[in-house]
């Protein structure tokens, strides 16, 4: 029935479009008529009907005896197909309303100036606000925990930014270094009783070592191949952690990881605790606040080191490598050391973050180090504009905050995350804050086809 309607609509649509276009061609030359929109929506709905017919329309489940049973959900199917039909019409109308995109809109210089001021102000304001968060929200444990989580991802994002954003090496296995750092601290602390402050640099060094070990074999690879090898590397680390039960505890993980101390002074209610030494009443919030400032300090260290490194020859070499590897080699830049330092530096920060994660949780298991984590950190870097420190921080805030909105609907979280990633790539492939800001502004709008702007294959 629906199929017949579509075939009937096709000649009608074309004839209407031509009869409409010929008399007033100048007025609505690029605006297709109602019939076109309806036809498009109908096709979308039909595609959706076929796609979802079995997957949504029929629900299977293993019964108590192991026998598979199924029941139908045609009402859900109808709702979704209807939504696709309506959504397709809305999208098409919006597209016409906005008109063809593709020309650069020239922003008035006054607006640009004020935007530049705002942009310069946002980083200090954000930093001061972050410092004040434990003071303002002292009683709200939930916000403090969320703040620690966001800062952890800011740090991971800044760490991965060195590899992906600066050196242009697409790393899909970053979570491996996070895992190495976390397990280094957990195992060293539980087996040898080493303190957090000794283990933190050790975790960083071990992770950097693994970064070099990954970096060496993949020196010659580029682009997609590099991405898939790093992905395989991340999975190998996770599988080894799961299966090497005698060392890592396997899927059960490591528990009883010691909490951090303030340079030897534990944050406990006992007599030698920090509260007793300072002569104030003990509160469990002290530890949370301490953790907050600890991760803030680590994140700022990452940021500071990255900013400094960018001014050094090695940082310049990373950025040159990102733009064009062949030209780099021709100019005498040592590709091997450049790539390896990028991997090692990024991995080291991942290791620091991992050690912090372990001490904060007190328990780690391989489940925390899946590919989804890598993809999340990568999405933060890409959303932040690949190379922009502020952008990464804002992206981490947006992403983790967005995840919190889905607290009640865990199963839809990754679905929406994936969809957001696709849409982001289509609309803003350069991220929210593009790093390669133009130094010369055009006075006139000028359309440049993307075909003419070819990217170097780094």
Partner 1 sequence: MDYFAQQLINGIVLGSIYGLIAIGYTMVYGIVGMINFAHGDIFMIGGFIALISFLILVSIGLTVVPVILLIVLLVSMAITALYGWTVERIAYRPLRHSFRLAPMLSAIGMSFVLTNYSQVAQGARVKPVPPIITGGYTLADQNGFVVRLSNAQIIVVITTIVLLAIFTWLVAKTRLGRDMRACEQDQTMAALLGVDVDRTISMTFVIGAALAAVAGMMYLLYYGLVDFFMGFVAGIKAFTAAVLGGIGSLPGAMLGGLAIGLIETLWSAYFSVEYKDVAAFSILIIVLIFLPTGLLGRPEVEKV
State the nearest-atom distance from the C-beta of 182 to partner 1, in Å. 20
Cα angle vertex 418, ends 298, 390, to 5°?
35
When the beta carbons of 94 and 422 are compared against partner 1, the nearer one is: 422
218 binds partner 1 (CB under 8 A): yes
State the nearest-atom distance from the C-beta of 57 to partner 1, in Å. 9
| Cβ partners under 8 Å of residue 155, min gap 6 | 295, 298, 299, 302, 349, 352, 353, 356
Instruction: Note the Cα 216 to chain centre separation in Å.
Output: 26
DSSP class of residue 31 equals: -
Q: How far apart are CA 39 and CA 31, in angstroms?
A: 14
| Residue choice 179, 291, 378, 394 for contact with partner 1 (CB under 8 A) | 378
State the nearest-atom distance from the C-beta of 168 to partner 1, in Å. 9
State the nearest-atom distance from the C-beta of 350 to partner 1, in Å. 19
H or E stretch covering 155 = helix 141-161
173 close to 214: Cβ distance less than 8 angstroms: yes
When the beta carbons of 120 and 329 are compared against partner 1, the nearer one is: 329
Binding to partner 1 by CB under 8 A, coded x per residue (else -) over 326-365, reads xx--------------------------------------
Binding to partner 1 by CB under 8 A, coded x per residue (else -) over 394-433, reads -----------------xx-xx-xxxxxx-xxx--xx---
| Residue choice 47, 115, 116, 198 for contact with partner 1 (CB under 8 A) | 47
51 binds partner 1 (CB under 8 A): yes
74 close to 57: Cβ distance less than 8 angstroms: yes
From 156, 126, 157, select the one nearest 386 (Cα to Cα). Answer: 157
225 binds partner 1 (CB under 8 A): yes
Burial class for 392, CB neighbours closer than 10 Å (0-12, 13-18, 19+): buried
| Residue choice 19, 140, 243, 252 for contact with partner 1 (CB under 8 A) | 243
Q: How far apart are CA 369 and CA 268, in angstroms?
A: 30
Q: How far apart are CA 392 and CA 377, in angstroms?
A: 10
When the beta carbons of 53 and 112 are compared against partner 1, the nearer one is: 53
State the nearest-atom distance from the C-beta of 231 to partner 1, in Å. 7
62 binds partner 1 (CB under 8 A): yes
In this chain, which stretch among 20-28, 138-146, 238-246, 266-274 interacts with partner 1, using CB under 8 A?
Answer: 238-246
| Residue choice 1, 27, 50, 128 for contact with partner 1 (CB under 8 A) | 50
Q: How far apart are CA 350 and CA 389, in angstroms?
A: 16
The β-bridge partners of 364 are 254
Q: How far apart are CA 73 and CA 66, in angstroms?
A: 22
Q: What residues numbered 84-143 form the site for partner 1, per CB under 8 A?
A: none
In the numeric block, the tokens 């045609």 are attached to: 74
Buried residues in 398-437 as b, exposed as e (16+ CB within 10 A):
bbbeebeeeeeeeeebeeebeeebeebeeeeeebebebee
State the nearest-atom distance from the C-beta of 419 to partner 1, in Å. 6
Size of the site for partner 1 (CB under 8 A): 66
68 binds partner 1 (CB under 8 A): yes
Residues that bind partner 1 (CB under 8 A): 47, 50-56, 58-62, 66-68, 70, 170, 172, 217-218, 220-221, 223-225, 227-229, 231-233, 235-236, 239-240, 242-243, 326-327, 371-372, 375, 378-379, 382, 411-412, 414-415, 417-422, 424-426, 429-430, 450-451, 455, 457-458
């Amino acid at each position: 029935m629906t199929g017949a309607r579509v075939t009937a609509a096709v000649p009608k649509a074309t004839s209407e479009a031509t009869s409409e276009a010929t008399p007033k061609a100048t007025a609505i030359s690029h605006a297709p008529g109602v019939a076109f929109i309806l036809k498009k929506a109908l096709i979308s709905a039909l595609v959706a009907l076929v796609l979802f017919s079995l997957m949504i329309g029929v629900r299977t489940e293993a019964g108590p005896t192991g026998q598979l049973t199924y029941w139908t959900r045609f009402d859900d199917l109808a709702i979704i197909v209807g939504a696709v039909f309506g959504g397709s019409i809305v999208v098409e109308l919006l597209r016409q309303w906005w008109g063809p995109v593709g020309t650069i809109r020239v922003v008035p210089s006054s607006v640009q100036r004020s935007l530049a001021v705002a942009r310069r102000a946002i980083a200090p304001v954000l930093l001061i606000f972050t410092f004040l968060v434990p003071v303002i929200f002292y009683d709200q444990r939930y916000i403090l925990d969320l703040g620690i989580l966001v800062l952890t991802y800011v740090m991971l994002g800044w760490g991965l930014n060195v590899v992906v954003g600066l050196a242009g090496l697409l790393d899909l296995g970053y979570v491996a270094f996070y895992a190495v750092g976390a397990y280094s601290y957990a195992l060293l602390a539980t087996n040898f009783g080493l303190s957090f402050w000794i283990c933190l640099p050790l975790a960083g060094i071990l992770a950097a070592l693994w970064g070099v070990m990954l970096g060496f074999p993949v020196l010659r690879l580029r682009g997609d191949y590099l991405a898939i090898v790093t992905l395989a590397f991340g999975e190998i680390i996770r599988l080894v952690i799961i299966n090497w039960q005698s060392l890592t505890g396997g899927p059960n993980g490591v528990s009883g990881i010691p909490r951090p101390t303030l340079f030897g002074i534990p944050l406990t209610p006992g007599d030698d605790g920090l509260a007793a030494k300072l002569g104030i009443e003990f509160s469990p919030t002290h530890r949370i606040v301490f953790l907050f400032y600890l991760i803030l300090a680590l994140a700022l260290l990452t940021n500071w080191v990255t900013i400094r490194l960018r001014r050094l020859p090695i940082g310049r070499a990373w950025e040159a490598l990102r733009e064009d590897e062949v030209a780099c080699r021709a100019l005498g830049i040592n590709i091997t050391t450049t790539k390896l330092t990028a991997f090692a530096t990024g991995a080291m920060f991942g290791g620091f973050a991992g050690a912090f994660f372990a001490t904060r949780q007190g328990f780690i298991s391989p489940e925390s180090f899946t590919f989804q984590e890598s993809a999340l950190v990568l999405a933060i870097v890409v959303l932040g504009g690949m190379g922009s420190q502020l952008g990464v921080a804002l992206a981490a805030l947006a992403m983790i905050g967005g995840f919190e909105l889905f607290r009640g609907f865990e199963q839809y979280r990754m679905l929406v995350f994936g969809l957001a990633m696709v849409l982001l790539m289509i609309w803003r492939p350069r991220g929210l804050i593009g790093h390669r800001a133009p130094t010369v502004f055009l006075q006139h709008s000028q359309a440049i086809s993307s075909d003419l702007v070819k990217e170097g294959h780094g």
